[in-house]
Every structure is written in C-alpha cells, then in structure tokens.
Structure 1
C-alpha cells in the first residue's frame, strides 16, 4: 500500500473513532500509534489530514452540504461523511495533490470501508464539488 493511501486510511479510522466515541484527538492518535506503529512519513501525512479536517470542519461540512441535495450531512453514514471530509480538505487546502488523485483515493476508501453504495455516493458528491469549485476558481 502506498504511503499516502495508508495515511488516508489512518486519518479515516481516527476521525471515525473521534466522532463515535468523542475521543480526544491527541489520545486517539497516541493510542493508534501504540497499537499500530507506522513509518514517520505515514504518520506525518495522516496528522496533516486529521488536524486539517478537525480545524476546518465547519468550512468543509458547509462545502459538502452545498452539494448534497435532500440529504443532511448528519444522515450520511459516518464512514462516508468522513471520507468526504478528508477529500474536501485535500481539494480545498492541499494544492500539491491533483484533485483527481484525491477523488480516486476517496472512492477507494469508500470501496474498502463503506457499504456497496458508498463508492458511487462519494464519487457523485466529489465530482459535483470538483466541477463547481474548479469552475469558480477559473472565473
């Protein structure tokens, strides 16, 4: 597994744990590392994703809500919601990652961790966001 792919997987697991158990992010990170030691590169990027999503959650959730019609963000599966949050953080704040890479990685996470409808749902939402936001940047 590629390093950044592993980092995204770790960030997703931690976001899931933090959301469901209301765990302290630092304690969740430390506990994960004790149980599953990782290469420093993997740790560094997963922390960028985790901290970025947590610090920018209001903006990220607003972006997701804008493109999900008739479906509140709270009604989404926790896994799908957090996959979208990671991808939106990458699309919005990390210019060094091509948007299509972020979208494809999110779809792969959805295939691995979501239900059978998750990949299509994640792809549809991220495609709308990418097309609309990219169009706005070019105006």
Structure 2
C-alpha cells in the first residue's frame, strides 16, 4: 500500500485536475472538498492534500510565473491539464520545503506517468528539476 503522502499527492492532483478542467468560478478549495467527498478520501490523505491545495490556491500566480520561467518554449496555459496540474503540485511542494526535492520530483514523475504518459513524465521531470535548481533547492 502506498504511503499517505503518495496517496495525498494523488488526491491533490485529482482535485487540481477537476478544478483546472472546469471553466467556472468555483474556488479550488471547494472543488477539492467535493472531489475528496466523492472519492471517500481518508482524513490523513485529505490533510496532506489540503495543505498542498491551500498553498497552490494562495500563491498560484507566483508559482505559475516561476514555472513559466523554466518551461522554455511552452506557455503554461498551452500545456495539457495533467502536465500543468502536476507541475503546480510539484512547485507547491518544492515551495513548502518539507520534502526533499528529489522525492518531490520522483513522486510528480510517477503521477505524470500514472495519469498522463511517458512523455508527460519526462517533461515534468525536466521542468521540476530546472525549477528546483532555480529555487536553489538542488545544485
């Protein structure tokens, strides 16, 4: 069975994806609550996911700007939903700083493979590695 953090990341990604594909004004935390209620998300997974969702909701513009700096030749809004959401999730966790950067990158690559494709995973790996280096979290 996967660790709570791994399952929590997947729940955060599912909530982000549901919010990202919607084209209305429902706030991210509200969409997340609805998704987690529908999925019957366990409290410990929900707590981990909630912290990431709160961070993304509070600082998405800055995170998107940072991601835009390292996604050369790609505008964030032109990326697929999965790639954009996994990158935001990774950026949030790198910003939070509680998890080693290599673990964050590896977990995000796995999510990109699981919910996207091998190509998505390679793209996410490159972008998050560059972002972590830009943030001074990797040398």
- The correspondence for 1:114, drawn from 98, 116, 138, is 116
For structure 1, list consecutive stretches of 5 or more residues without a partner in the other structure.
none
Structure 1 position 29, deviation (Å): 3.0
- Partner of 1:33 in structure 2? 36
The whole-number CA distance in structure 2 between the counterparts of 1:134 and 1:24 is 31
| Count of aligned residue pairs for this structure pair | 136
Q: How do 1:119-130 residues align onto structure 2 when only pairs under 5 Å count?
A: 119-130=121-132
For structure 2, list consecutive stretches of 5 or more residues without a partner in the other structure.
none
Higher gyration radius (CA): 1
TM-score scaled by structure 2?
A: 0.89
TM-score scaled by structure 1?
A: 0.89
The whole-number CA distance in structure 2 between the counterparts of 1:33 and 1:64 is 27
Which 10-residue stretch deviates more, 82-91 or 28-37? 28-37
Matched, 1:68 2:71: yes
Structure 1 position 26, deviation (Å): 4.2
